[in-house]
Amino acid sequence: MLISITFSLFGFLLGVWADGFEKLSIVPMMVITPMTFLGGSFYSIAMLPGVWKQIALFNPVVYLVSGFRWSFYGVSDVGVGASLGMTLVFMLICLTVVWQIFRTGWRLKT
């Protein structure tokens, strides 16, 4: 539920930011897809060498995938508390930006 709310807020932000279909498709193609592939969706980040594992921990998708992996299999790359906490942080960042957009009317008023 938390992840779906977070991605809904992020999608809203992209929709407000983009002023055309080209701009709307560039973020999923150039940002979300690589983050998903590098975020441990298809492998465990424990398989990565030390430096790359530390770099992978800066990817927010690692925490989303790890939470799903724990809920289905009982195994995760990072702790469940860390996964939940980072997902909450990402959601609060998106919620704050959406609140700011509604407060100021940025790109909503014509």
Percentage of residues in the chain with pLDDT exceeding 90?
86
| Model pLDDT for residues 57-108, shown as the tens digit of each residue | 999 999 999 999 999 999 999 999 999 999 999 999 999 999 999 999 998 8
**pLDDT of res. 29:** 93
Which helix (H) or strand (E) element contains residue 19? none
How distant is the alpha carbon of residue 75 from its chain centre? 20
**pLDDT of res. 110:** 63
**Which has the closest alpha carbon to 90: 11, 7, 29, 20?**
7
Domain ranges of the chain: 2-104
Residue at token pair 């996964």: 83
Percentage of residues in the chain with pLDDT exceeding 70?
99
Q: Name the 3-class secondary structure at 60.
A: helix
